[in-house]
């Protein structure tokens, strides 16, 4: 029984594993969720503002690596700016059941509502949908030899985690997010 639990934990870890050396990929049998074409990346690089789904203009935040390093702790910088991954089951947000909003750990942009959070068993906070699809960027890379869709904050382009097509209804998606990439604002 312990071997099975260890195997399941290892499989969960591998499904969310991402860092700057190993890259970001999705399970080889799943379809691509989005394509990260060079044109889209080029457009994002020149974008200074964007609109959320309500049409509100949100200014992008662009800082140098040195500025981000001065603002973020070492672990936050590694995950958010270098696309690393925190160890599974280490985030204090994993078992958080309070009502509120999860915001970007680098720029505080509201990303996920607590009522979309669910227990995925992967060791990272998981959500079935963002507050607004327009505040999330998705990018695909193949660093491990197969595709996985990376999720980023659109305002600061900080790495959040990955999205997979194995989540609960109503979306069927699992946004597997590093807790260190998030802040939590409790509802008043």
Per residue in 53-109, pLDDT (tens digit) is 999 999 999 999 999 999 999 999 999 999 999 999 999 999 999 999 999 999 999
How many domains, in total, are found in the chain? 1
SS3 58: strand
Q: How buried is 94 (Cβ within 10 angstroms: 0-12 exposed, 13-18 middle, 19+ buried)?
A: middle
Q: With a threshold of 0.95, does the pTM exceed it?
A: no
Expressed as residue numbers, the domain containing 77 is 2-186
Element (H, E) at 160: strand 159-164
Residues 6+ apart with CB under 8 A from 44: 137, 157
When pLDDT is cut at 50, 70 and 90, the band that residue 6 belongs to is very low
Residue 176 a catalytic site member: yes
What are the pLDDT digits (tens) for 104-132? 999 999 999 999 999 999 999 999 999 99
Q: Residue 95 maps to which CATH number?
A: 2.170.150.20
d(CA 70, CA 61): 15
Q: Is 70 helix (H, G, I), strand (E, B) or coil?
A: helix
Contact indicator for 123, 94 with CB cutoff of 8 Å: yes
Set 16, 107, 156, 176: catalytic member: 176
């Amino acid at each position: 029984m312990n071997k099975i639990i260890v195997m399941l934990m290892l499989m969960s870890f591998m499904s969310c594993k991402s860092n700057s050396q190993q890259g970001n990929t999705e399970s080889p049998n799943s379809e691509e969720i989005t394509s990260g074409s060079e044109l889209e990346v080029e457009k994002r690089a020149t974008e200074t503002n964007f609109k959320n789904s309500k049409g509100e203009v949100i200014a992008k935040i662009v800082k140098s690596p040195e500025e981000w390093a001065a603002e973020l702790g070492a672990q936050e910088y590694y995950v958010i700016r270098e696309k690393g991954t925190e160890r599974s089951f280490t985030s204090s947000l994993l078992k958080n059941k309070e009502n509120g909003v999860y915001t970007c750990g680098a720029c505080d942009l509201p990303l996920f509502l607590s009522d979309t959070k669910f227990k995925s068993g992967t060791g990272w906070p998981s959500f079935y949908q963002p507050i607004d699809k327009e505040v999330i960027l998705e990018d695909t890379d193949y660093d491990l030899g197969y595709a996985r869709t990376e999720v980023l904050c659109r305002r600061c382009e900080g790495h959040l985690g990955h999205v997979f097509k194995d989540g609960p209804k109503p979306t069927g998606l699992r946004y597997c997010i590093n807790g260190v990439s998030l802040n939590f604002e409790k509802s008043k």
